[in-house]
Homo-oligomer: A and B are copies of this chain.
Amino acid sequence: MSVTYIDAIREAQEVLLRDDPRVFLYGQDIAVFGGAFKATKGLAEMFPGRVFDAPISEDAMIGMAIGAALQGMRPIIEMQFADFSSVAFNQIVNHAATHFYRTGMPVPITVRMPSGGTAGSGPFHSQSMEAIYAHYPGVVVVTPATVADAYSMLIESVKLDDPVIFCEHKFLYRWLKAQSFQGDCLPIGQARITRTGRHATVVTYSAMVHEAVRAAERLQKESGWEIEVVDLRSVKPLDIDTVLASVARTGRLLALGEAFPWGGVTAEVVSRVVADGFHLLEAPPMRLNSRDTPVPYHPKLWASHRPTPESICDSLRKLLSY
């Protein structure tokens, strides 16, 4: 029997509710309905009085969570889509993120953000906002790419004392399957070598890990190139040591992400690698992001807006031929 990425998220929440009386869930349509993506299916019935439907008030949802966290609770907030967190932006970056530094009292909230593009979702149900939150001091931003990570990192996120932006990728929800929820349980802040290689390193995270692996497999078959794929797992903190160790082996770096191209995770990765590992590089480090437009609605446009195995292969070929 196989389990999916969304199963992992649901299961982690069940375990958290079961094991930790401080945990409660709050979000739009997450109680009886089980959430827009069914990430909380059945939990309201299993845990009466601990799973709540919220009004359409993202700002207040986060404000509420901050207040609850200050009282010792561990709220998990579901944004219906990451894109809607734009209206909760202030409470996240100015209230939750600054609180520990300002007062010494941490704000342990976990904000689940269904992120990333899927066909036909369009400009307001497809966004990848990890870079926006990671820019701010005080937040932890995690971006699980596997079923096991979705599971263990959600559990770990809730245990962390800092506010966590949990970017779960909608494309992976039902598409990504595994035999179980168990994995290597790497801690947040540690990257993983998803695929080893020696000719180039692709540093990426979330759904793009799988596209990178596909591209790597294709290049291996086609021309014998061995591409290493590093899954950052969390973009803040960002495990530059694992990245540097990989680049030390391969000498070549492609930073890959699905978010908009200006700034973002790929720029941070490249900047850190060149700062500390300039001498390791045998070719200019490259970046591949989405195109610099809103995420288009039509599947044909969408498929060419985000990086694909084809465009990743193209970038890698360029990188390898330098």
Residues of A within 8 A of B (CB): 59, 83, 86-87, 89-90, 93-94, 97-98, 101-102, 123-124, 131-132, 134-138, 236, 238, 255, 259-260, 262-268, 270-271, 274-276, 278-279, 281, 283-287, 291-294
From B124, B135, B279, give the contact of A263 (CB < 8 A): B135
B134 & A263 in contact (Cβ 8 Å cutoff):
yes
- Chain B residues positioned under 8 Å from A262 (CB to CB): 134-137, 236, 238, 268
Among residues of B, the one whose C-beta sits closest to the C-beta of A89 is B89
Task: Please judge, given known A-B contacts A90-B86, A275-B284, A285-B275, whether A123 and B98 are in contact too, CB under 8 Å.
Answer: yes
Interface pairs A-B: 8 shortest CB-CB: A278-B284, A267-B267, A86-B90, A270-B271, A98-B294, A267-B271, A89-B89, A137-B292
A123 & B102 in contact (Cβ 8 Å cutoff):
yes
Interchain nearest-CB distance for A180 vs B (Å): 34
Interchain nearest-CB distance for A167 vs B (Å): 15
A223 to B260, CA, bound (A): 42
B86 & A93 in contact (Cβ 8 Å cutoff):
yes
From B101, B271, B284, B285, give the contact of A287 (CB < 8 A): B271
- Chain B residues positioned under 8 Å from A135 (CB to CB): 131-132, 259-260, 262-264
A255 to B137, CA, bound (A): 20
